[in-house]
Amino acid sequence: MSAFFTAITRLFHDKSGNVAFIFALICIPVVSVVGCAVDYSMATRMRVKLQAAADAASVASISQKSPGFIQAAAMTGNGTVSVGITDADNVFDGNMAAITGYSNLTRSSVVTKTGIQLSSTVQFSAQVPVTFMKVLGYQNLTIGGTSTSSASLPPYLDFYLALDVSGSMGLPSTAAEQARLAAVNPDNYVQYPTGCTLACHFSPQNSACTDTGTQGYPTNNFCLGYVISRLSQSGYTNLLQTKTSNPKQQQLPSSIVNGVSPYTINPGLPNSLTAPIPYGGGGLSAVSSCPTAGTDACIQLRLDAVGFALNATQSANGTDGLFAVAQKSETVTNQFRIGLYPFIESLYAYFPLTSSINGSPTNSSTINYAAANLATLLDTNVNSNLGSGGTHIDVAMNSMNATIASVGDGSSPTSTQPYVFLITDGAQDPQMKGVPNGGWSGSNHATVLNDPSNSYPNICQTIKNRNIIISVLYIPYQPISPVNSSFANDEDDAANNNIPNIPPSLQACASPGFFYTANAPADITAALNQMFSHALSVARITN
């Protein structure tokens, strides 16, 4: 017995095997930790693959041109986008099809539309088998994750273009064009001997031009400014002859020349300018629009420039106009509608809202043709739809307010968001003239849109209170020079004195940040494009 105790005592006092003994004890947790790390690392790598599949699915299901995006854009209300859910599931499954090393995979997708916001959420869960952690009683590690993506749907926008077609918008588009017209225009020569550049004088005989006391030479009591602007300038100039009574002036032939009588133009004006030469006319061809300044075919007027700014294309003109920019900005069919609403005394639905904005400017059934021929609507005292005389911006905007029957949020084709583009020189003129060749009434002294004396001085605020954005393009009113103070109770000075008041009045009408100024044709094109782009960006942000 003593020998046994002696052996035990020696075992406790013998330290030669401690390292091996301790190492054996430590190996068990060390191996377990390393094994857990290996198993966990494998599970983490698998989760990365699953997360990538979920991310791809959530993004793809609401990307532009995806089935879910297209379905959501066409929805008239909020809710679940079923096609988007199917698409998300298919994308996820496709990405995981060739990947192994997991079991019990579940995934769920939710795609919803709220306003013009589209969101997609893809969740997943799976099990990854373990090797080392089995000693701890585990057979699998459960992994999971979520991917969420969002996108803005294309806003459906309606653009109501309120177009000033009053007399002053018939001025030539550039200083050079004004000089060309002044050099050949006989209108109101007695009052404006340096040459009249207002190319929109009234059409009826004796309405504003009479051979006795006003014209530079006999015109059959017609105003010729607008007509001349539609003709070949070299052709028209070749018709002019030196006026016998005043060598400094020119006139059209009205009698036998060198014993021959091919020209009997004056008595038949203005139609004789375009009548064939054998029948006593000038034989000149006329255009209905003049898209380019400086061309021999015509003199470009401001409204020609506005029409060009709507119709221009990069392929033909080196720059895109409003219609082309809108077409290229569309992400879904019929996303934008544009309408043309000119005004003088009244607002006229010249070409109401349409999504067909890629027609030919030579096809009379298209908005492109209507825009190209905008100058034909200038106040010539013949269009009862527009009225005549002054410029009633307040009345026009009040009519526009009534024209826009509903205001949507842009989330669907049935909930369009309206924008008003007011394009004007900003001079409110309350006078009126009967159509055709009727009497005058009302004040002829220019004022501004928000003048308290107007019928609807606060109409812009009324429109904006309906959450309609007003974008204003101011084409500056040109000072009248020289001033004829004896004309119409000094109307010229009244118009000139009113010019400084115009920009602040139009800025007050415009929604914040939506006031633009442009004069030259290229600047008008650029400004209209900026107005459209601004409207589109704001629509995406605010919705």
Query: What is the predicted pLDDT for the residue at 23?
Result: 47
CA nearest to 319, candidates 340, 305, 333: 305
Sequence spans of domains, the chain: 35-152, 157-171+301-542, 175-279
Q: Supply 463's token pair.
A: 């429109």
Q: What is the pLDDT of residues 75-103, one digit of tens each?
A: 888 999 999 999 999 999 999 999 999 99
Q: Supply 225's token pair.
A: 């400014």
**Cis-peptide into 270, omega within 30 deg:** yes
Query: What is the predicted pLDDT for the residue at 228?
Result: 95
Q: For residue 82, which amino acid is it?
A: S
Angle, in degrees to the nearest 10, between helices 521-542 and 302-311:
50
Give the pairing type, strands 117-129 and 103-114: antiparallel
Query: What is the predicted pLDDT for the residue at 197?
Result: 85
Highest mean pLDDT among 35-44, 398-407, 477-486 belongs to 398-407
Q: What is the pLDDT of residues 53-78, one digit of tens each?
A: 999 999 999 998 899 998 998 888 89
Pairwise pLDDT comparison (538 vs 467), residue with the higher score? 467
Describe the strand order of the beta sheet including 351-354 as a list of residue ranges: 351-354, 336-343, 157-164, 417-424, 469-474, 515-517
Terminus-to-terminus CA distance in the chain, angstroms?
A: 96
The DSSP string of 438-453 is --EES--S-B-TT-TT
389 Rama sector, left if φ>0, alpha if ψ -120 to 50, beta otherwise: left
Domain formed by 157-171+301-542, architecture: 3-Layer(aba) Sandwich (3.40)
Q: For residue 328, which amino acid is it?
A: K
Q: What is the pLDDT of residues 38-59, one digit of tens each?
A: 878 888 999 999 999 999 999 9
**Residue that the structure tokens 């605020």 belong to:** 461
Query: What is the predicted pLDDT for the residue at 199?
Result: 64
- Asked whether residue 543 carries a pLDDT value surpassing 70, the answer given is no
Pairwise pLDDT comparison (540 vs 541), residue with the higher score? 540
- Asked whether residue 522 carries a pLDDT value surpassing 60, the answer given is yes
Angle, in degrees to the nearest 10, between helices 67-74 and 82-96:
170
| DSSP secondary structure code for residue 23 in this structure | H
> Rounded to an integer, what distance in angstroms lies between the CA atom of residue 378 and that of residue 389?
11
Q: How far is CA 107 from CA 83, 139, 405, 426, in A?
A: 16, 22, 46, 61
The DSSP string of 233-272 is HHHHHHH-EEETTEEEEEE---S-BTTB-S---GGGTTGG
DSSP-assigned beta bridge partners for residue 148: 121
- Asked whether residue 175 carries a pLDDT value surpassing 80, the answer given is yes
Residue 253 confidence class, pLDDT cut points 50, 70, 90: confident
Query: What is the predicted pLDDT for the residue at 12?
Result: 55
Mean pLDDT value across the chain: 89
Highest mean pLDDT among 179-188, 310-319, 468-477 belongs to 468-477
Residue 105 confidence class, pLDDT cut points 50, 70, 90: very high
